[in-house]
């Protein structure tokens, strides 16, 4: 298992500014990491996967991921060919100490409690969808203000962060509990796939495990990953093979078998189609 890197807020926060905002193009190079600050990450472009806390979630444009302190995670694009399949994420990271300052401006009891849970490390990891582009507009405004600061920039960023907390609290409170449970069950199924890549995986076998029909499962894959089951499974297997190519000295045939390909030729064909290069070329490029 690869070590988990810990990111420190001291690297990002300077001159009493306890918030940092950037726009990042995700790739396969970033390590799995945790951090001593809070992160709200918004998917601005593309699709891919979020590996978090031992699970894998499919991600798409318009999703916001709320990540507490100490939760190991990493974003990965759907393909190693990031030129054709980019994954762009806005990251808003901030110190829990900042939330104490923001709380003094809040009068609504539910919002104050919600901010307090994040400040005290009591909020779990969760994610939600931006239903009306409000979160995207706030993220764009925060990134613009952080990148091109003007007078009273810190105060302006604080007010935008309060607005973001209000929107997130409303969406989380108003989310239908039934749909949240169904999505969680689907996430568990995706985690099962990641943990059993070496085994034969099919819609039929997953239908038996989940007790959903094959037709309904195919609809869920389209809805939550914007891919068919077969496309998602191939991307997941190639993604895992990329990690093994970077982090191990296993032969390519062994890697193909580890991620579920019994025929090395098929693996090579799918890998080149998705990654845009052969496994050998990818390993060489990742080590250079």
What per-residue confidence (pLDDT) applies to 131? 80
Percent of the chain with pLDDT over 70: 95
Mean of the per-residue pLDDT values for the chain?
A: 89
Decide: 92 and 39 in contact? Cβ < 8 Å. Answer: yes
Per-residue pLDDT of 110-157, as tens digits, reads 999 999 999 999 999 999 988 888 999 999 999 999 999 989 999 999
- 49: Cβ–Cβ under 8 A, 6 or more apart, which residues? 56, 57, 58, 59, 75, 76, 78, 236, 239
Rounded CA separation 245/249 (Å): 7
pLDDT at 178 over 50: no
Per the model's pLDDT, the better-predicted residue between 224 and 66 turns out to be: 66
- The pTM (predicted TM-score) of the whole model is 0.73
Which residues are paired to 17 by β-bridges?
14
pLDDT at 273 over 50: yes
What per-residue confidence (pLDDT) applies to 90? 97
Look up the CATH superfamily of 5-175. Regulatory protein AraC (2.60.120.280)
Give the sign of the dihedral formed by CA 240, CA 237, CA 193, CA 249: negative
Let me know the angle formed at the C-alpha of 75 by 269 and 86, rounded to the nearest 5 degrees. Answer: 60
Percent of the chain with pLDDT over 90: 57
Decide: 94 and 19 in contact? Cβ < 8 Å. Answer: yes
Per-residue pLDDT of 155-173, as tens digits, reads 999 999 999 999 999 998 8
What are the C-alpha distances in Å from 250 to residues 179, 202, 205, 243, 280? 41, 26, 29, 11, 11
pLDDT at 177 over 60: no
What backbone torsions phi and psi does residue 172 show, to the nearest 5 degrees? -65, -40
Least confident of 47-51, 61-65, 156-160: 47-51
pLDDT at 19 over 70: yes
Least confident of 26-40, 164-178, 221-235, 259-273: 164-178
- Here the contacts of 56-61 (C-beta below 8 Å, separation 24 or greater) are 56/190, 56/191, 56/194, 56/236, 57/127, 57/187, 57/190, 58/190, 58/224, 58/225, 58/226, 58/227, 58/232, 59/87, 60/224, 60/225, 60/226
What per-residue confidence (pLDDT) applies to 124? 92
pLDDT at 175 over 70: no
What per-residue confidence (pLDDT) applies to 181? 47
Across residues 20-43, what is the average pLDDT? 94
Look up the CATH superfamily of 179-287. Homeodomain-like (1.10.10.60)
From the list 217, 226, 233, 215, the residue with the least C-alpha distance to 185 is 217
What per-residue confidence (pLDDT) applies to 285? 79
Residue boundaries of the structural domains of the chain = 5-175, 179-287
């Amino acid at each position: 298992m690869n070590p988990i890197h810990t990111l420190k807020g001291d690297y990002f926060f300077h001159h009493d500014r306890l918030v940092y905002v950037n726009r990042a193009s995700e790739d396969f190079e970033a390590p799995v990491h945790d951090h001593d600050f809070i992160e709200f990450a918004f998917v601005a472009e593309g699709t891919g996967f979020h590996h978090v806390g031992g699970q894998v979630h499919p991600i798409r444009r318009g999703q916001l991921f709320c990540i507490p302190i100490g939760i190991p995670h990493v974003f990965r694009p759907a393909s190693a060919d990031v030129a054709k399949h980019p994954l762009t994420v806005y990251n808003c990271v901030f110190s829990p100490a900042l939330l104490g300052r923001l709380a003094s401006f809040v009068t609504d009891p539910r919002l104050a409690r919600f901010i307090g849970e994040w400040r005290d490390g009591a909020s779990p990891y969760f994610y939600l969808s931006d239903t009306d582009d409000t979160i995207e507009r706030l993220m764009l405004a925060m990134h613009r203000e952080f990148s091109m600061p003007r007078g009273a920039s810190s105060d302006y960023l604080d007010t935008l962060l309060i607005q973001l907390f209000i929107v997130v609290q409303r969406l989380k409170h108003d989310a239908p509990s039934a749909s949240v449970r169904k999505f969680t069950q689907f996430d568990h199924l995706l985690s099962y796939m990641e943990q059993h890549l070496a085994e034969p995986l099919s819609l039929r076998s997953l239908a038996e495990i989940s007790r959903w029909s094959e037709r309904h499962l195919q609809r869920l894959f389209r809805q939550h990953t914007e891919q068919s089951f077969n496309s998602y499974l191939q991307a997941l297997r190639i993604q895992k093979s990329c990690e093994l190519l970077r982090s191990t000295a296993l032969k390519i045939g062994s890697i193909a078998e580890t991620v579920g390909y019994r025929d090395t030729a098929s693996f090579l064909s799918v890998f080149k189609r998705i990654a845009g290069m052969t496994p050998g070329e990818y390993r060489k490029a990742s080590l250079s």
